[in-house]
Amino acid sequence: MEVEVGELFIILAGILLVFDFVLLSKATAKDKKKLEYAFYTSAIACALVVASYFSLTWAFVSDNFSLSEVYTYSSSSLAIWYKLGDPWIGSSGSMLFVTFLFALVCFLYRFKGSGKESEFRTTTYKILDIFLIFLLLVTLLKSPFELLPIVPMDGAGLNPLLQTFWVLIHPPVIFLGYIFVFFAFALTLAGMITGESEKQEVREALKRSLCAAWLFLALGIALGGWWSYEVLGWGGYWAWDPVETASLLPFLALTAYFHLPSRSKDQAKELTLTITFSMIIFASALTRGGLLESVHAFGKSPVGPALLIFAFCVVLYFFYLTRRANKPLYTFDLDTSSLYSVAIFAAYWSLIFLLIICFLGDAAPIIGGFFSENPMSTSPEFYNKWCFPFTLAFVAALAGCNIGLKMKRYVMLIVAVLGIGAVLAALGQPTPNPLANLGLPLLMVAGIAIACNFARLLSKKNSSSRLWGKAIVHLAVIIILIGVFVSSTAETESGNIIAKPDSVIESLGMQITLNNFTVYPGTGSVYYPKHAIVGPEHSALKMNVVIEDGGKVHQESLWMYYYTNHGVVSEPSIISTFAGDVYVSMHPTNSSYNSMFYALMGQEVQPEDSVIVVKRVPLIWLVWFGIILLGIGMSILLFSELLKITNPQYYQKP
């Protein structure tokens, strides 16, 4: 069987990394020659990984449809920027992309540490080698360079839901978050092995990596929500889909990590980072291995089980190291007289319980699948019901971190606020959902406490930027939760409205004037596997509409596309106001479906009708504003850590 050059590069890189590991294992800090050879070996291995990645990229750009990956995710008519992003879009290519990013991080760390070898650095290098070798093996398990037995005349075309600017941003951002966690975990394991985890250099490198990971994980989840809401036409930024929920797991674990005391006599930080690492592996296995049915997941493959086995082995080794260290995993070192101490404790454990609930929601159907032939799933109601009390506990903890009260007064305040929430829940105001009404007063009080604390920090001359960043992050979380509580519970929808062209419909207090359809014939070029021919990729219908709402008139366009290999896709029209969004989308009837089908073959047939769906999503802008604020706060925290490199005196502890 012919082996592609890119696959050969992966195999050679793996062999060189094994050789590098052997050299590092036999070398001491004084063996300059061996360490120098090891560095060059690892550098060549990383260069081969980079070459393999660019080899796959070139296969997409040059339309090499002999590769299964290129055929599945591309076509000759696909725009060049999507071809450049295709390597991280597909199932196999995305694993190579992660390996490519990790190889770059490994090389930069080795290059920066060249000539500064120590037992800790050498141990870190070996752990990075193991991680990179494993990623290479997983990439080969479902190789992106797999050849098709017969070369098709064109590609099947990229899924239309992925033909958006956000597909070029969202995956790399979240993958960078994963890579920085991998790197930080390697530092942690090396510190546990050598006993040098408390060194200032190690602690600062770890903190910088985790701050970067936290930022990228948050941005990745946020971009995914925006993509689902505004681009894909799904009408929601969060649906408790298995892959969406899995992406939340490492973020929750890492957020919990930052709510642990900076110095303690236990190994809680190491344990929480191990959980973060394991949740990334679990999320990757779910997505890349197809362990559950999801709109975001790929088909089943051996990648999923391989990832889970690797995570299990790493966790076992971690517990071996903890036992050797002879230190407790976690100590309940709590000062009950200090509100701040209690609040930090409550924040950590509320996040851990949220993590457990979300993990069980994803894991239960996988386990149940072994005992049932029918696919199983976890309903959104399960998550909403069980996450709610721990979300409120976390909000109360955030208030406690930012409010200057004695413990007794704080408890009285929380009880009073929850009492007000209970009254609002009984009255059914301000939303139709009693749980949201119960939680909103607590969110408002927490937001006021955090805002007052932030104003106090700004008034101080010598307050550190790290404290500013923390306050902004806390405030952002509250704003996001208020937006979620209101937008998800007070949303109203018209249902399916059968609408004819040149007519007027009224729904949810607005008037929509529909014009005639514009039919767009088939464009693009893809391969039709059922008919073994090449034909147009898609046709389209457009309807111009005039929306009158609250005395304002909006000129909008509604679109539907028919993709031969992927079906019908709707592109919504969204009108954003201070009160919320008006969300209008068009969906097919038999008439409009047939019109697009005939348009694909070059025949223009005017449809008789289509389905119109109208939604009002109140205060959704709070979610997006909170996300922007969250990114700013996290960036400030990361920037304050990076400043320590150039100016160690800059950073001041609170």
Residue 161: other Cβ atoms inside 10 A: 18
CB atoms within 10 A of CB 262: 9
Give me 104's structure tokens.
């770059």
The whole-angstrom separation of Cα 161 and Cα 170 is 13
Tell whether 372 is covered by a domain. no
Asked if the structure places residue 652 within a domain, the reply is no
93 in Cβ contact with 67 (< 8 Å) = no
Question: Which band of pLDDT confidence, cut at 50, 70 and 90, is reported for residue 2?
Answer: very low
Sequence letter at residue 354: L
Domain assignment of residue 228, yes or no = yes
DSSP-H helix ranges across 144-241: 170-194, 200-226
Beta strands 538-549; 552-563: pairing state: antiparallel
pLDDT digits 0-9 by tens, 132-172: 999 999 999 989 999 999 999 999 999 998 888 889 999 99
> What pLDDT is stored for residue 651 in this prediction?
43
Q: What is the pLDDT of residues 358-410, one digit of tens each?
A: 999 999 888 877 777 676 788 999 999 999 999 999 999 999 999 988 899 99
Same domain, 18 and 151: yes
Contact 565, 575 (CB under 8 A): no
Residue 298: CA count within 13 A, CB half-sphere = 22
Specify the CATH number for the domain of residue 11: 1.20.120
Which stretch of DSSP H or E encloses residue 515?
strand 510-523
How many other C-beta atoms lie within 10 A of the C-beta of residue 550?
A: 9
Structure tokens at 381: 């109601």
Domain that holds residue 473: 379-490+624-646
Q: How many whole angstroms separate alpha carbon 26 and alpha carbon 129?
A: 15
Residue 605 pLDDT > 50 = yes
Residue 407 lies in a domain: yes
- Proportion of the chain in helix, strand, coil states, percent, rounded to 5: 60, 15, 25
**Same structural domain, 224 and 344:** yes
- Asked if the structure places residue 446 within a domain, the reply is yes
Same domain flag for 606 and 473: no
Q: Judge whether 175 and 93 are in contact, CB under 8 Å.
A: no
Judge if 582 and 480 occupy the same domain.
no
Q: Which residue in the block uniquely carries the two structure tokens 């960043």? A: 469
pLDDT in tens, 242-267: 888 999 999 999 999 999 987 778 89
Instruction: From 131, 163, 195, give the residue that closes a domain.
Output: 163
Using CA atoms, how far residue 546 sits from 502, 511, 541, 550, in Å, is: 11, 8, 17, 13
The residue among 115, 132, 163 that closes a domain is 163
pLDDT for 283-308, tens place per residue?
998 887 766 665 555 556 788 889 99
Handedness of CA 241, 247, 251, 254 (dihedral sign): positive
Domain assignment present for residue 449? The answer is yes
Domain end point (choices 109, 131, 163): 163
What's the rounded Cα separation, in Å, for the pair 18 and 45? 10
Q: Report whether pLDDT(462) > 80.
A: no
Query: Does 56 share its domain with 185?
Result: no
Whether residues 127 and 17 share a domain: the answer is yes
Q: Count structural domains, the chain.
A: 4
Alpha helices by DSSP H, listed for 62-199, are: 68-73, 80-85, 91-113, 119-141, 170-194
Kindly give, in sequence order, each residue whose CB lies less than 8 Å from that of residue 204, ignoring residues fewer than 6 positions away. 641, 644
Mean pLDDT (whole number) for 449-457: 93
Q: Are residues 343 and 452 in the same domain?
A: no
Tell me, yes or no, whether 191 and 339 share the same domain. yes
**Residue (of 141, 159, 9, 14) closest to 72 by Cα position:** 159
Regarding whether 156 and 180 lie in a shared domain, the answer is: no
Statement to judge: residues 458 and 432 lie in one domain: yes
Same domain? For 449 and 521 the reply is: no
Q: Residue 371: inside a domain, yes or no?
A: no
Residue 374 maps to a domain: no
Looking at the fold, whether 210 and 323 belong to one and the same domain comes out as: yes
Could you tell me the pTM of the whole model?
A: 0.93
Query: What pLDDT is stored for residue 346 in this prediction?
Result: 95
Residue type present at position 202: V
